[in-house]
């Protein structure tokens, strides 16, 4: 729980745009260990958080509503206006992210209205009070990021016996993980700044969460054409059609692939790279890999424009006439 408190404090400070000298909290067990002679003994895990942000965590007095300010009213307002009830007719939230969005929307709404006591808009008052706040540290308190994990060579981390993927660039680096509502958030240091590296829905043992976007193309079984000789590089430089042709030719078991690649490069010098690449893509799509197929497709595409419709002539129709259709639709 101290990590959750640290996360909440850091998020609020950044939302407000400053750090107050004192932070007043209720006597939660995460903040207070016990009371001795009516003196609150702070949780030793909370003290470093206050020191890091340059604030002092103060506790309310037990059974003393006057020292609690509006904290209790805040909870009451949240239950009345944000929690779905038969009175406010709010719909059930899909997940905690939807609840957080509703909280942000409600906060912006109420802080943009004139307060009944001060006769001023709270958002405008906050802009003035922000000048008296301490600056927020550039980096968040590391404990707020959660527990540390070392990324394995398979670009995954293990949390509660469940494997979650992270970007492959973080392999063998340390990251921090924490649960926020129903999401697992992975934080990493990039350029000296903490950034969200990955986010997954919470899972259960035996159901890993793997995001293909975290892995480089070709690392999950998909072969990607990669030139190893100057001839291969010259062919693949023709464009995506050439790469598609090579992939399909490999899957089909085409013979004399290298010779046909050389012929395609030679045709590109005569007819242009774009035209040959387009013909290669068409050949791959319709699986035309025989000798002379590429030249035939290229000649056809040069003669006929894509915008020109192709219609079958009546001379090759097997239908002798339309008389057989004359009674179609008649009772």
pLDDT in tens, 14-54: 888 899 988 887 766 778 888 788 777 888 878 888 888 88
Q: Which residue has the higher pLDDT, 214 or 3?
A: 214
Decide if 5 contacts 45 (C-beta within 8 A): no
Highest mean pLDDT among 50-59, 123-132, 294-303: 123-132
Burial 293-303 (b: 16+ CB within 10 A, else e): bbeebbeebee
Is the model's pLDDT at 189 over the cut of 90?
A: no
Query: pLDDT category, 84, cuts 50, 70, 90?
Result: confident
User: What is the pLDDT averaged over residues 129-142?
Assistant: 83
Query: pLDDT category, 325, cuts 50, 70, 90?
Result: confident
pLDDT digits (tens, 9 = 90+) for 65-82: 666 655 556 777 777 888
Q: Which residue has the higher pLDDT, 86 or 292?
A: 292
Is the model's pLDDT at 162 over the cut of 90?
A: yes
Nearest partner of 136 among 26, 232, 48, 12, judged by Cα: 12
Q: Which residue has the higher pLDDT, 318 or 243?
A: 243
Bridging pattern class, strands 22-25 and 56-59: parallel
So where are the chain's domains? 2-132, 146-214, 230-303
Please report the pLDDT score of residue 291 as a whole number: 86
Burial class (CB in 10 A: 0-12, 13-18, 19+), 228: exposed
- Range of lowest pLDDT (73-82, 121-130, 299-308): 299-308
Decide if 38 contacts 5 (C-beta within 8 A): no
Burial class (CB in 10 A: 0-12, 13-18, 19+), 60: buried
pTM of the model: 0.46
Mean pLDDT of the chain: 82
Q: How far apart are CA 214 and CA 220, in angstroms?
A: 11
End-to-end CA separation in angstroms for the chain: 79
DSSP 280: H
Beta strands in 60-218 (DSSP E): 147-150, 156-159, 162-165, 174-180, 183-190, 193-201
Decide if 10 contacts 140 (C-beta within 8 A): yes
pLDDT digits (tens, 9 = 90+) for 202-251: 999 999 999 988 987 655 556 678 888 998 999 999 989 999 989 888 88
Question: Can you tell me whether residue 207 is helix, strand or coil?
Answer: coil
Query: pLDDT category, 191, cuts 50, 70, 90?
Result: low
Decide if 189 contacts 167 (C-beta within 8 A): no
Q: How far apart are CA 103 and CA 170, in angstroms?
A: 33
Decide if 145 contacts 180 (C-beta within 8 A): no
Please report the pLDDT score of residue 226 as a whole number: 81
CATH number of 2-132: 3.30.420
Please report the pLDDT score of residue 209 as a whole number: 93
Decide if 183 contacts 97 (C-beta within 8 A): yes
Q: Which residue has the higher pLDDT, 92 or 89?
A: 92
């Amino acid at each position: 729980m101290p990590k959750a408190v640290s996360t909440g404090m850091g998020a609020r400070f950044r939302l407000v745009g400053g750090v107050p000298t004192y932070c007043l909290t209720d006597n939660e067990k995460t903040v207070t260990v016990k009371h001795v002679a009516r003196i609150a003994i702070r949780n030793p895990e909370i003290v470093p958080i206050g020191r890091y942000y340059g604030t002092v965590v103060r506790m309310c007095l037990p059974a003393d509503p006057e020292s609690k300010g509006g904290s209790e009213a805040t909870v009451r307002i949240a239950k009345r206006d944000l929690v779905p009830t038969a009175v406010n007719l709010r719909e059930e939230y899909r997940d905690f992210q939807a609840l957080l969005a509703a909280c942000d929307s409600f906060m912006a709404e109420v802080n943009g209205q004139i307060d009944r006591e001060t006769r001023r808009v709270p958002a405008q008052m906050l802009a003035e009070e922000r000048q008296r706040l301490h600056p927020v540290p550039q980096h968040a308190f590391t404990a707020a990021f959660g527990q540390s994990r070392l990324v394995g060579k398979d670009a995954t981390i293990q949390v509660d016996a469940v494997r979650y993927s992270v970007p492959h660039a973080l392999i063998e680096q340390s990251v921090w993980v924490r649960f926020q509502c129903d999401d697992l958030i992975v934080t990493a240091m990039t350029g000296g700044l903490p950034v969200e590296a990955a986010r997954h829905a919470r899972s259960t043992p035996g159901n890993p969460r793997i995001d293909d976007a975290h892995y480089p193309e070709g690392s999950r079984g998909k072969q990607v054409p990669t030139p190893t000789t100057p001839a291969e590089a010259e062919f693949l430089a023709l464009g995506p059609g050439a790469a598609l042709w090579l992939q399909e030719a490999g899957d089909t078991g085409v013979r004399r692939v290298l010779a046909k690649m050389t012929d395609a490069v030679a045709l590109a010098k005569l007819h242009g790279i774009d035209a040959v690449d387009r013909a290669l893509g068409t050949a791959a799509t319709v699986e035309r890999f025989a000798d002379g197929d590429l030249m035939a497709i290229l000649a056809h595409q040069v003669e006929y424009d894509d915008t020109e419709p192709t219609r079958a002539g009546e001379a090759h129709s097997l239908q002798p006439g339309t008389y057989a259709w004359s009674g179609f639709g008649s009772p």
